Structure 1
Amino acid sequence: MTSTLRTPASAPGRLPVLGHGLQMKRRPAEFLLELQSGEPVVTIALGKRPAYVVNDPTLMRELLRDGDTFVRGGPMTDRFRSMFGNGLGISEGEFHRRQRALIQPAFHRNKVIHYTKLMSRTVAGKLDSWRDGQRLAVETEMDELALSNVVEVVFAGDPRLDRARFMAATTTVLGGLFRRITDVTGVLTRLPTQANRDYDAAAEYLRATIRRVITEYRAAGTDHGDLLSMMLFARDEEGRPAMSDEQVHDEVMTFFIAGSNTIANTLCWALHHVGADPEVQRRLHAEVDRVLDGRAAGYADVASLEYTRQVLSETLRLRTQGLFNNRVTARDAELGGYLIPAGSDVLYSFHAVHHNPRIYPEPERFDPDRWLPERARGLPRGAFMPFATGVHGCIGDQFAWTEMIVSLASIAARWRLEPVPGHEPKPVPAMTMPVDALPMTARRRTR
């Protein structure tokens, strides 16, 4: 390090404590967005120690691509690991790279094509269950759809899974995990409250269910052609199982959360915005009528569903899944000319970047045309990374894009979902940002 490096600026008078989440006088989202107008890196007080907030999207990208310097760690990661163990979403270093290499084949193109066939069948079945004029709880419908898809991919559609209970437990865990991560002192989440008891019960149910299926698969010794089978039958160089049952459990837990809740949330918000904007709806319907003509989408259709992808990109921007993330410096770090000492907490917020008016004019307006190629090319590097990047970037990003495009296009090809007058959905504070409730009326489309 040289003496030319700068120490990040502090932010005196700007709400110095980023703890206790919603109990602050200003919401965390507002605080993080305010920091966007300051220096690229600033310091704040996080509990009893300083934290470094990275505000510049190019520096965020640099941070994420240097996984050996900026590692997962600190109290927030510890609380996350208490639920997800040492799965891909939280593991580090050589172990993480080994696990990623073992799991990567599950998301190769031919596998995604196979998964898409399953998803097309699942979404078609869901759409067949709707009735013209029916008022739908869209948040429940999308939860069920996304969970069905991830069950097909991970468990080959295990018929013994109590999907309603599993889905409810997942929702409880994500809400409770957000409270644990934003409780800097850790006191609130140790109290014998009903919310804490519900969280513990839901977490144990998820773990027990996944362990039960792993035990049954291991005992049967049958390759079901799903992700769980691939992990259980993976072998190291000496022919031994490459993963213990506990490691398989951690990976499965991670995939269930990442592969169901975030997808369902994004689809809900997309359907809300499509229903609220007649011009967006008209253009989406015109595209799916031309490409699909009333059938469910398949893998071969994805490249042609360009406006559908734009709608989803704008949804991921406006309704960012997660408020902020963190890293810890494994050694003294230099980022954009700023010195960050070893062992420091580093925070960054895609949500804040996505709502920065200097990057996205009129950031609160839903505008899929932001993602026309000629406009998207003008964005700064790192300004849109819905699945992160680097060694910790989402291993299933192409699978996620395919699932969302196939689901949204298939729905729009057969149904028009109308908002219920007077109802305005609101985001629920959680690890991801689900909608509180989204009642919509289903109208069968004629072309």
Structure 2
Amino acid sequence: MLGHAPSAAQLTSGIAPGAHPAIGHGWQLWRQPLEFLESLSAIGDLVEIRLGPQPAFVPCHPEIVWRILTNDSVYDKGGPVMDRLRDFVGNGLGTSTHQDHRRQRRLIQPAFHPALIESYAAVMEDEISTLTRDWKDGQEIDVFPQLYGFALRTVTRTLFSTTVDAETIEVVRRSFDTVFNGSFLRMLTPPTLRRIPTPANRRFQTAVKNLLGTVDRMIEGHRKEATDSGGILPILLGSGSGPDGQEMSNAEIRDHLITMLLGGGDTTAAALAWALHLLSTHPEAERRLQEEVDQVLGGRPAEWKDLPQLTFTSRVLTETLRLYPPGWLLTRTTTQEVELAGRHLPPGTAILFSPVTVQRRPDLFPDPHAFDPDRWLPEYASGLPRGAFVAFGGGARKCIGDTYGMAETVLALATIASRWSLSPVSGVQIRPSRLSVSLHPEHLPLRLHARR
């Protein structure tokens, strides 16, 4: 059963202890990022931390979180994390400022029309079958890389109307992994040091170059085909897509595609990987999931028409996103003087936002570390305040692919559960990849067991 949020009139602020002179709270964020962020709500509803020498404010109350997410003209995209993301994502939909975002969203929104998402389901179903085709009873698999390949193939086929080979998939995966795993440390590093040709900086620049080059080749290949087969890429390539009715440049299109590859690849795979991990360690939840898919599917793969009946499957994924939100750390910047929880923040103040700070609050979610899909039964979830669950963000900048992502993950999880059970591999500690932009397991081996 869900608890109740504190009254907005009682909002408090505080300062996190333990900052180091040079790196601020970077050590805590590197060592135990989720635990550190989760602990801040006990200090106040708005908590000041340090990112290197720079102060940043972390909202830990759903009322403040919702205010920030739904007013992006005042709390605009910016700050250390966003600035580093722009090093390789550019000015895509996820990183663009308020000034550009509305036009970009209007341009891309048609590709996420419900009727089109339903048409994408056939590709999702096909790629799920490809994912599990070579699985064998008793086999041990490293879950995240396999799920990442599935998600990336799906997003390129559905949204870009392009099929990519295994080599391209691996280049994109390695590039994202290198770039993301270095992004937080680069956030704390002064610009002059980021330009020094250290091994880490060279790896970062090589990964960015490989990623940009791969996406450029996808764009050029589609230009040569000159076909309108649906998805985002044909929309972006169409005349009148850009400002003042001009065609968008390859660089502008590339920024949007990289954003979609990130959202449709890494984050989708992360959510599925954590769901399989949680099910492998919670046999009662796995049993209930299998009962549902057996009744609904009868041994066949999941299809779009089955989604309304896969209610427990959906709750499993929602609870997974509560515990392990893939977009776990973002920053925004105030564009004018504001007051939050009694603190006056000048223009240019960095706001560090993490769903973890509200989604693991014990007053909102009793026993917050417990994996309990029934938290999301309507009679309980309806009592949640706005801003208590923000894995997809909120307001005008809510994830444009939330419906797409939930459909894909529900279909994948249901199909896998109808045919396979997965168990943990003993002696392996499962933990999030440290300081990656996306919260995914660092290493998640699971053993397959074919269901008879």
Fold equivalence (TM over 0.5) = yes
Equivalent in the alignment of 1:432: 438
Q: Which moved more, 1:411-420 or 1:351-360?
A: 351-360
> Cα distance, 1:410 vs. partner?
0.8
Q: Which moved more, 1:290-299 or 1:169-178?
A: 169-178
Query: Does residue 219 of the first structure (1) align with residue 221 of the second (2)?
Result: no
Contact 1:155–1:227 (Cα < 8 Å) also in 2: yes
> Cα distance, 1:36 vs. partner?
0.5
> Cα distance, 1:339 vs. partner?
2.9
Q: 1:11 aligns with which of 15, 36, 50?
A: 15
Q: 2:203 aligns with which of 188, 198, 207?
A: 198
Q: Which moved more, 1:410-419 or 1:420-429?
A: 420-429
Distance in 2 (CA, whole Å) between partners of 1:52 and 1:234 is: 42
SS in 2 for 1:215: helix
TM-score normalised over the length of structure 2 = 0.90
Correspondence 1:5-404 to 2 at 5 A: 9-11=13-15, 13-15=17-19, 19=24, 21-22=26-27, 27-159=32-164, 162-181=168-187, 183=188, 185-186=190-191, 189-233=194-238, 235=240, 240-335=245-340, 338-404=343-409
* Counterpart amino acid of residue 256 in structure 2: E
> Cα distance, 1:350 vs. partner?
1.1
Inter-CA distance 24–135: structure 2 relative to 1 (3 Å threshold): closer
> Cα distance, 1:338 vs. partner?
4.2
- The CA deviation string for residues 76-106 of structure 1, in whole angstroms up to 9 with x for no partner, is 3221111111000011224210110010000
> Cα distance, 1:216 vs. partner?
2.6
Distance in 1 (CA, whole Å) between partners of 2:114 and 2:239 is: 19
Contact 2:18–2:25 (Cα < 8 Å) also in 1: no
- The CA deviation string for residues 327-381 of structure 1, in whole angstroms up to 9 with x for no partner, is 1111112345543222211222211222222222222211111111112122222
Contact 1:179–1:189 (Cα < 8 Å) also in 2: no
SS in 1 for 2:332: strand
* Counterpart amino acid of residue 438 in structure 2: T
Distance in 1 (CA, whole Å) between partners of 2:112 and 2:32 is: 38
- The CA deviation string for residues 211-260 of structure 1, in whole angstroms up to 9 with x for no partner, is 11212322332223232112112525999554222111000010001110
Contact 1:55–1:353 (Cα < 8 Å) also in 2: yes
- The CA deviation string for residues 158-209 of structure 1, in whole angstroms up to 9 with x for no partner, is 345622222222222221223323x154566445333332221111111001
Contact 2:307–2:407 (Cα < 8 Å) also in 1: yes
* Counterpart amino acid of residue 432 in structure 1: S
Count residues with an aligned counterpart. 441
> Cα distance, 1:14 vs. partner?
4.7
Contact 1:11–1:44 (Cα < 8 Å) also in 2: yes
Distance in 2 (CA, whole Å) between partners of 1:331 and 1:177 is: 27
Contact 2:12–2:342 (Cα < 8 Å) also in 1: no
Inter-CA distance 356–315: structure 2 relative to 1 (3 Å threshold): same
Distance in 1 (CA, whole Å) between partners of 2:49 and 2:429 is: 34
Query: Does residue 413 of the first structure (1) align with residue 410 of the second (2)?
Result: no
Distance in 1 (CA, whole Å) between partners of 2:318 and 2:172 is: 28
Distance in 1 (CA, whole Å) between partners of 2:264 and 2:292 is: 26
Inter-CA distance 414–64: structure 2 relative to 1 (3 Å threshold): same
Percent of pairs with identical residues: 37
Distance in 1 (CA, whole Å) between partners of 2:176 and 2:243 is: 37
Distance in 2 (CA, whole Å) between partners of 1:258 and 1:40 is: 29
Q: Which runs of 5+ in 2 are unaligned?
A: 1-8
Inter-CA distance 285–250: structure 2 relative to 1 (3 Å threshold): same
* Counterpart amino acid of residue 11 in structure 1: I
Distance in 1 (CA, whole Å) between partners of 2:12 and 2:57 is: 8
Distance in 2 (CA, whole Å) between partners of 1:302 and 1:81 is: 36
The root-mean-square deviation of aligned C-alpha atoms, in Å, is 2.6
SS in 2 for 1:223: coil
Distance in 1 (CA, whole Å) between partners of 2:440 and 2:331 is: 21
Q: Which runs of 5+ in 1 are unaligned?
A: none
Distance in 2 (CA, whole Å) between partners of 1:139 and 1:159 is: 19
Distance in 2 (CA, whole Å) between partners of 1:394 and 1:15 is: 33
Contact 2:176–2:207 (Cα < 8 Å) also in 1: yes
Inter-CA distance 284–87: structure 2 relative to 1 (3 Å threshold): same
